[in-house]
Structure 1
Amino acid sequence: MIDLRQLRYFVAVAEEEHVGRAAERLHISQSPLSRQIAQLEEFLGLNLFERSQQRIRLTVDGRTFLAETKALLTHAKRLESLGKRLGRGEEGGLCIGYIENAMHTSVLPDALKILRTARHDLHIALYSQASADQLEGLRQRSLDIALVSEPPAADDPDLDSALVLNEVMLLAMPEHHSLTQKKVLTPEDLQAAQWICVTSGLAQRAVGSHKEGFVAACMKAGFSPDIHLEVTEPMTALRLVGAGLGIAMLQRNLRSSAPDNVVLREVPWMQYATPVWAAWHRINLRPLVAMAREVLLSGESSGLGPENPVAVDLPPTAIAQTTK
């Protein structure tokens, strides 16, 4: 049977690309570490690394093995934590993944409040991860619930999901920007402005899809955004807007955090919202997981409702109400 200690050693060497640095990180000598890696390769009948005098690098097979090793070690760590909680007489806990928007809005904090009120001794572990990583975590059973920006495919054999938030975005402008004086905003007005685009900071592969979604919404509304700055945090965008460096579309829920020098306006004719989906594994739904799912889907913790409706297409003549 494969040795988990050797797997941990393998991950350290793969990440450091240097046996000496990996040995320092693991607080062991270099020779025993090299021996353990060699034994692992012999046991597997597989060359995990390409070795040279300067550095050590993963082979193609080694990269594939590394991804599966990390998933196994994550699950082993969770299993160890579960066993310890059960040993202390606790009834288990929840591992919840989330994207930043689920935390910035009321979805996750309100759900946690409801869950802890119902079960004050409930142990909950939170993991900020990209949506793709969360879905993989559900498949590997390292997560119980995932709060993601994009749901799994409708025909996914393993995962199911439901929309829990589709928050309409607000236009953020510097207080002295010329557009703040206009009662009616048009696509031409937004075409001429300099934009700050908020992307996802969790994984590079997710950044493109977030930017593409924003640009697509702008194009559908009738203008092409002139993007001068790209940031990974909405709060950073708020500060940059306040500094007069451009305008941005931001979550409605952040209006209470807006500085005094930022004006927020609705743009009813622009169909742009930030969805949050709850996802879970279809099989072996533990009672705690079922309870968390029901809380998220009940609407008590979501933005779906009269104050945060799903965005709809309205004509550009609609008046943008000022909120500050």
Structure 2
Amino acid sequence: MLELWRLGYFVAVAEEENVGRAATRLGVSQSPLSQRIRELEAGLGLALFHRERKRLRLTADGRRFLDQARTLLAHAAAVEQQAHAAGRGEGGRLAMGFVEGAVHAGVLGRALRRFRQDRPGVGIELRAMRSGDQVQALRDGALDVGHIYTPPADGLRIAQVAEEPYRLAIPADHPLAAEGDLVEARLDGEAFIALPERGNPQARAEWIAACRATGFTPDVRVEAIEPATILGLVAAGVGLAMVQESLAATAPAGVVLRDLPAFPLRMRVYAAVSENGSAAAQAYFEIAVA
């Protein structure tokens, strides 16, 4: 396999058409340079130069090889530049997981906007994923950055980046929607729409505990993931739901949102990155938590 330095020697000699001038340009001795060129020709089985008294002229094979050598050297330089940029967090690609709450709270959009301004050369691949799946993907190296609801106990850099209260979404034609002072105990046994327990059993347990602490036990009849789907089901009269406050602006007609001041749970989103993640991943994490 050809070493890149040999190609560099050949290009210098071809451009100078003189070994002495090429040696000065390269900062090497003339005699070893001549030997390296002869070794290159022997290795290729080609005569690259016509040798005259004080001048070397490229053969037809030499001209073709010069074009190829320049292309290879330019490609190698580009690869090296890209590697250096990735090492500084200025290039490469980030695989980024997120939960819907990060989008609606605005944290994902704000962080991405700042990151793109600071590091426009980094490509972004966004993946909507459950928190548990993101944590596993981060640990496996399949994901660079995550935005999750439930942080793991250890193994990742974690920081909270968003927090919002929950509001109660009620079908507009439900009797509770018209009550002036909502009594939490009236919610006991009402049909609720909730996030799937299988995807995050810890989050479901915390939510049930918060409901009970508020004075009611929800009867979960339907499970759904997408906030838009949940609100659509509420509007259709399927049940009640607890949704993050920032969804109020996008709630469809047929949904009434009420405050539950006694409800202790908050919607929290955390940024997560591997301790040994890339420079770009660490840079995004710092921007997200700033």
Superposition TM-score tier, normalisation by shorter sequence: 0.5 to 0.7
Q: CA deviation at 1:92?
A: 1.8
Are the counterparts in 2 of residues 199 and 233 from structure 1 also a CA contact under 8 Å? no
1:177 maps to what in 2? Answer: 174
CA gap 1:246/1:140 in 2 versus in 1, 3 angstroms: closer
2:281 maps to what in 1? Answer: 289
CA gap 1:199/1:168 in 2 versus in 1, 3 angstroms: farther
1:112 maps to what in 2? Answer: 112
1:91 maps to what in 2? Answer: 91
- The CA deviation string for residues 118-139 of structure 1, in whole angstroms up to 9 with x for no partner, is 2333211122223233222222
2:268 maps to what in 1? Answer: 275
Instruction: Give the SS at the match of 2:91.
Output: coil
Q: CA deviation at 1:207?
A: 4.5
Whole-Å separation in 1 of the counterparts to 2:81 and 2:141: 17
Instruction: Give the SS at the match of 1:206.
Output: coil
1:199 maps to what in 2? Answer: 196
Are the counterparts in 1 of residues 169 and 243 from structure 2 also a CA contact under 8 Å? yes
Are the counterparts in 2 of residues 199 and 210 from structure 1 also a CA contact under 8 Å? no
Q: How does 1:1-324 map to 2 (within 5 A)?
A: 86=82, 91-153=91-153, 156=154, 158-199=155-196, 205-283=198-276, 285-298=277-290
1:14 maps to what in 2? Answer: none
Are the counterparts in 2 of residues 198 and 234 from structure 1 also a CA contact under 8 Å? no
CA gap 1:173/1:296 in 2 versus in 1, 3 angstroms: same
Q: CA deviation at 1:96?
A: 1.4
Q: Which runs of 4+ in 1 moved over 6 A?
A: none
Are the counterparts in 2 of residues 85 and 92 from structure 1 also a CA contact under 8 Å? no
CA gap 1:245/1:136 in 2 versus in 1, 3 angstroms: closer
Using the size of structure 2 for normalisation, the TM-score is 0.64
Instruction: Give the SS at the match of 1:253.
Output: helix
Q: CA deviation at 1:235?
A: 1.3
Whole-Å separation in 2 of the counterparts to 1:84 and 1:123: 18
Whole-Å separation in 1 of the counterparts to 2:127 and 2:191: 34
Instruction: Give the SS at the match of 2:199.
Output: helix
Aligned partner of 1:118: which letter? D
Aligned partner of 1:177: which letter? H
Instruction: Give the SS at the match of 1:102.
Output: helix
Aligned residues: CA RMSD: 2.6
Percent identical:
34
Q: CA deviation at 1:192?
A: 4.9
Aligned partner of 1:250: which letter? V
Instruction: Give the SS at the match of 1:259.
Output: coil
